[in-house]
Structure 1
């Protein structure tokens, strides 16, 4: 088991995590990376539309942010363990900065812009997976890791609430190519923070005994496979209301204001749920509520079958988002189940798969709504999702003896 590089004081909640200097560097780099990604998505979408006047190509720039995650997560995952983590993180940030810099060149054509967008998406799961694995080195693989990972998720969800609005305001002041220069600077600043704020550690593959290439060592155990599905399957269903927010707001007659609050409700509930679970619940309590919350997380979507108005729809989305606090318990189980020498590739596969299933879920949501209508599609996603989550909870119980053994061996 990894130990934190710095001993944190026994204060409550998230304050313990910020007491670790290396985590502060990782956290600041994450904020800058999120800022860069958001600005690049908005600026590139506007730039492509300005060049082509094509809504399809403009929307495609967002779709390309999801699809290549499967490639990066599957093919490049072993790199996260084969090389020192700090070197991988710095290299990924430099590649992203170079791609964003090329986007700013005046003569860059549409084909190259979309190819560079794909390159950013391919690199992203390797960076995110390596960063999450580094958290276990910095904070240990116990409660501090769970809280640190929770904080990074909260930043990502908060970015959904505020980032796109601020990015839109930015583009009223500067053009899209100038906005992309901000993306370059944020990636470079993240590089400096990670290079100077974290210490060098050897590659994980050299620390353990399993250096086999590919994903086979990771997926060999049923416990890890079940836990990966517990992260991925609910996410594929949970994005359905977000994917259908625009037509649903139109059905409600709530206009752009209603669309905005519908898009914010789910991430707002997620942030609130994670903050409460991280600050008010202890490690054992978070693990005890993980499976019940998992089974309940998609249940509010069934309320769409009752044709709710805007206010009730927002409440249903807030409740579903808050139940996503089950991920804090899953985080602890996952880091406990994966051998240290496979931790980098495991986090890369987890993140790459998560983004991929969300993209697939959005596409399937649109197809279902086209056939059955928006409310039926959301309610159907809730029903199917609840059944899948309950089945996964049963599978998790069947494999939990592995976690129990690990807990006894580490003294937790």
Structure 2
């Protein structure tokens, strides 16, 4: 089974923007030729208006006529080559989005909200039972997304342990062997869930996939459906887990902003949007620039620079999210800030369909967390928290907190 490259939400988080190149920091508004970690040339685009516009430009896409020979960000893993371009690629992508969109409908997610609240309450019960110095990542951030996905996919409790393990292995981007092991376990299991739902439909994602297979088995092959399901799962675990960690670090480190949300819980939604905007962070000490990858399907002129067909474009959502011409004091956390939609979920044809579920988890968690642990703080300096991926500033391997 081939798992497609990460779109939308997962791309926006996995392809965190690392500022700086051998030529120094890139100024806003420039389109600069740079070199990726795999040694390939790429065009780095940084200002907010241009990044947002190019995210919706159909001339830039995730496809390439020669994926094996195309420039890329990294040599392996989900940072790999583009998808194979075919005459039907755009239509196939639209059909897949429609199918996944049904699985992530507003009605289904609304029905999931009470269960997410129960899961959050249970995890915070575990945190409260721990000594008043505990690892928030291990007790809350890491288990929450897999538990929510268990509900979305109808995974039985007695199969949940293996399911969670495969998920965590599959997002080990810095450990290719572990990642392959996770995908190898996850793929046949998801196929098993789909086959079960052919006989016994339920209101979950495998049921939607089973219905598509029954309706049009030649197009919706089991391999294609399994790939779609794995993409939903991968997009729903690592990025959400990382956003929780990043958001807690930022919010708990700012006593005034933490107090504002504690005293006015209705600010939680604003706070989550602001934290997502800021979570396109940089990795200290790294000099490799990258962003959300797109490949030119034809020659494109951007700010006077001609990008040739087949070349790689990196849309720098960190720089765009910190563009002072778009937002005042862009590096400052302001939970009262409104009207600044984060770019982390992408835009246009590849806007992440899982964005509402990610937002729901973050909002429920932080509203409940601040109410139950009003004095929570980091137990170590923020600079001492180690990233779970040594190449990227994504999430953490541990998040010591006290209250």
Normalising TM by the smaller chain, what interval?
0.3 to 0.5
Greater fraction of residues in helix:
1
- Greater relative contact order (CA < 8 Å, ≥ 6 in sequence): 2
Greater fraction of residues in strand:
2
TM-score, scaled to structure 2: 0.33
TM-score, scaled to structure 1: 0.33
